[in-house]
Amino acid sequence: MSAKIIDGKQISADIREELKAEVAALKEKGIVPGLGVILVGEDPASRSYVSAKEKACENIGIYSDDNRLPAEASQEELLALVAKMNADPKINGILVQLPLPKHIDEAAVLLAIDPDKDVDGFHPMNVGKMMVGEEAFLPCTPHGVVQILLREGVETAGAHVVVVGRSNIVGKPVANMLSRKKAGANATVTLCHTGTKDLAHHTRQADIIIAASGWPNTITADMVKDGVVVIDVGVNRVEDASRERGYRLVGDVDFDAVKEKAALITPVPGGVGPMTITMLLFNTVDSAKRANGID
């Protein structure tokens, strides 16, 4: 069997069309959702993420306030900009691009963002609310994973999901979201990490694998059962002299071999990647609705 390849770009485009219609309806009420973006420094990957975010906002009609600070900017400067955005009624969502330069305390910056504008879902208030099942901004990449499973009609209720990786951005939140007692979740979740003994023992039992380890080939064909659903969150650069830029992007899964055993699999690029920005747009529109008392 060869897997159906999940088209993350198409799912993403479908959701963006839905959001575009919502933004147009909000504009008729005089409401324009606004996203404030802060990038500190010149990291090439971060710059390209941020430009893609700005373009995506423009495409669906979200106002975006883009701020670039030099790599040497002080924590005080960054906190002052966050405070300004917290107080700005045109801004419904604030995104501070991570990682931040080493001299800045990331946790202090995330804590300074108004939880009602925390469209990344990284503020401890939103993390806590998610954990206890209250309404909260859900972090974008794991929320994108859940949307892919929902829109591909993958049954998660009662399924055994094995998550590989325990980051705050992906592994821990996706494990939490999929174990909630609600539609599109209700799974039995195993969270594996670098301390796991015999990773393959766990992944072979999985109905759904979510790979978020940050290492190429973490999941190989001998580690999965036939018919598994594989969601690959990894984005890794591997040297490739045949490419003009000298590298190519791969996920955490040995895609070519695993797709021969899986029922469904996301590619890299073109799988989970496009969903992250889409769910950021979703949270920004949601925040604008909440700020104006619209359900």
Shortest distance in whole angstroms from residue 231 CB to ligand GUN? 16
Q: Is 120 in the site for ligand GUN (CB under 6 A)?
A: yes
Q: Is 97 in the site for ligand GUN (CB under 6 A)?
A: yes
Nearer to ligand GUN, 36 or 267 (CB): 36
Q: Is 202 helix (H, G, I), strand (E, B) or coil?
A: helix
Nearer to ligand GUN, 276 or 284 (CB): 276
Cβ-proximal residues to 294 (8 Å cutoff; 6+ apart), any chain: 26, 29, 31
Distances, alpha carbon 121 to alpha carbons 94, 124, 135, in Å: 10, 8, 11
Cβ-proximal residues to 30 (8 Å cutoff; 6+ apart), any chain: none
**Structure tokens, 97:** 């691009």
Q: Is 276 in the site for ligand GUN (CB under 6 A)?
A: yes
Q: Is 95 in the site for ligand GUN (CB under 6 A)?
A: yes
Residue 97 appears among annotated catalytic residues? yes
Spatial separation of the C-alpha atoms in residues 51 and 73, rounded to whole Å? 20
Shortest distance in whole angstroms from residue 175 CB to ligand GUN? 17
Stretch that binds ligand GUN, among 8-16, 76-84, 95-103, 195-203 (CB under 6 A): 95-103
Cβ-proximal residues to 235 (8 Å cutoff; 6+ apart), any chain: 249, 251, 268, 269, 273
Residue 120 appears among annotated catalytic residues? yes
Spatial separation of the C-alpha atoms in residues 96 and 163, rounded to whole Å? 26
Long-range contacts at 23-28 (CB < 8 A, ≥ 24 apart): 23/60, 23/61, 23/62, 23/285, 24/61, 26/285, 26/288, 26/289, 26/292, 26/294, 27/61
Spatial separation of the C-alpha atoms in residues 130 and 146, rounded to whole Å? 14
Does residue 233 contact residue 145 with C-beta atoms inside 8 Å?
yes
Nearer to ligand GUN, 22 or 120 (CB): 120
Q: Is 138 helix (H, G, I), strand (E, B) or coil?
A: coil
Nearer to ligand GUN, 52 or 98 (CB): 98
Stretch that binds ligand GUN, among 10-18, 94-102, 219-227, 251-259 (CB under 6 A): 94-102
Nearer to ligand GUN, 96 or 288 (CB): 96
User: Which one of 120, 207, 232, 286 is the catalytic residue?
Assistant: 120
Nearer to ligand GUN, 199 or 270 (CB): 270
Binding marks (x or -) toward ligand GUN, 140..169, rule CB under 6 A?
xx----------------------------
Stretch that binds ligand GUN, among 55-63, 91-99, 159-167, 195-203 (CB under 6 A): 91-99
Count interface residues toward ligand GUN (CB under 6 A).
8
**Phi, psi (5° rounding) for residue 168?**
-70, -25
- Enzyme catalytic residues: 53, 97, 120
List residues binding ligand GUN (CB under 6 A): 95-98, 120, 140-141, 276
